[in-house]
Amino acid sequence: MGHKIGVVVVTRNREDDVKRLLGSIKLQKRLPESIVFVDSSDSSRLDVISQSILGEGKVQIASIVRKCNLPAGRNLGAAELHTDLITYLDDDVVLEPDYFWVVDEFMSSEVGLGVGGVEGETINYPTYKDLRWDFRIGINLLFFLSAPGKGNFRHSGMARHVVRSKFPVRTEVLSGSNMTFRREVLEKFRFDEDLHGRSHEDLDFSRRVSREFVFYHLPNARLAHLEAPRARESSVVAAESGVRNPRTLLHRNFEVDGKMMLAFRMSLVGQLIHLLVARRVDDIKPFLRAVFEA
């Protein structure tokens, strides 16, 4: 082991979530060398909060105050780091104490030396005993939306994410909530800053990078993803971009045939069902407008 690890957290008006994340970083068996916050908040004091939680000088902290979308924030944060590994964390995750130690250990192993990126295991992923989850995952599976699986892309361009594996396994797609890349990956690839709202930037980046680099899912790098109730964008923007961005990414990253277009259209039906079940009436009109636009 011995990689230097830098962390990028893009955040907006989620101070309590960031405090919880920093509390979990403080308890790490192996601390990262640097953390960069890209902060679009209405008021920012994350550098002061970070030092008060982590302690003076234990981790190098930088805060970039900039109004930007998630992909742009991830590019900005990575540009500030000079570490061997760069980890992207959502501001609403909580790491278990071994997280960075496991990542460093694997990337230093014989197998890991040939790996370009890894993700950890989300431990609070819903179980199939939850009837609401049963319904949601059933819709996602039936209508080609993202769902648990073997770490591969679906015909719609959505993904089957690895969940609850017992051993490190290969995957084509990494979760945007926690993903670590070698520096050489980020020197060659950037996140697409034209993807606004529900950007699906993790799917786009995974698809492009996985053509050249190997990814792994690490079940022992564990974390909880709490999904903060305060979204980064309005529900209307989320509804519209939930159509436009996947359509853009499908045509960019795949050789689209009739089967894929059918799967994509079915995924739109699945999204509409979720909106109806959640009674998000105000979001249905912008969603349909995006569906039927040229």
Q: Are 241 and 145 in a shared domain?
A: yes
Nearest residue to 262 (alpha-carbon basis) of 156, 152, 140, 163: 156
In this structure, are 87 and 99 located in the same domain? yes
Domain end (from 185, 203, 225): 225
Domain range for 212: 5-125+164-225
**DSSP state, 168?**
-
pLDDT by residue (tens digit) across 134-156?
A: 788 899 999 999 999 999 999 99
Letter string b/e over residues 230-253, b meaning 16 or more CB atoms within 10 A of that residue's CB = eebbeebbbbbbbbbbbbbbbeeb
Lowest mean pLDDT among 38-47, 122-131, 245-254, 280-289: 122-131
* Domain assignment present for 34: yes
pTM of the model: 0.94
Average pLDDT of the residues in 180-207? 96
Mean pLDDT of 102-118: 97
Mapping DSSP to helix (H, G, I), strand (E, B) and coil, where does residue 193 land? coil
Whether 178 shows a pLDDT value over 60: the answer reads: yes
State the angle between helix axes of 281-292 and 258-277 in degrees (0 to 180), rounded to the nearest 10.
160
The reply to whether 59 and 141 lie within a common domain is no
- Please tell me whether residues 118 and 61 are part of one structural domain: yes
